[in-house]
Amino acid sequence: MSAYNQFLVAKFSNGQLSLDRHPYQYRPSSKDRTHIIVEGERLDTIAFKYYDNSTLWYILADVNGIINPFDLTIGDEILIPEIS
């Protein structure tokens, strides 16, 4: 799975292109976990740690309301949802 599998390309009449994507639909699970951000981490490295797939970083961003995946605060706790 690619990080771009969830994206749709929008083509406008003036020739412009845009990427749009449906946000991940979170459903709470008893298997959800939490993670405390430490120095040097990024969403892709956290996704690899929990899902063995760094391209699933967008799930962590969507579930935790993270707009800029490169702007994480050390010590913040984020939800790691169970994915099926």
pLDDT tens profile 39-71: 999 999 999 999 999 999 999 999 999 988 888
Report pTM: 0.76
Q: Which two tokens stand for residue 48?
A: 């690899």
Tally of domains in the chain = 1
Are 81 and 32 in contact, with CB atoms under 8 Å apart? Answer: yes
CATH code of 29's domain:
3.10.350.10
Question: Would 16 be classed as within a structural domain?
Answer: no
Domain that holds residue 28: 24-80
8-23 pLDDT per residue, tens:
667 778 888 776 677 8
Question: Would 5 be classed as within a structural domain?
Answer: no
Question: Would 58 be classed as within a structural domain?
Answer: yes
CB burial readout 10-38, b (16+ within 10 A) else e? eeeeeeeeeeeeeebeeeeeeeeeebebe
Q: How many CB atoms lie within 10 A of CB 6?
A: 17
Question: Would 1 be classed as within a structural domain?
Answer: no
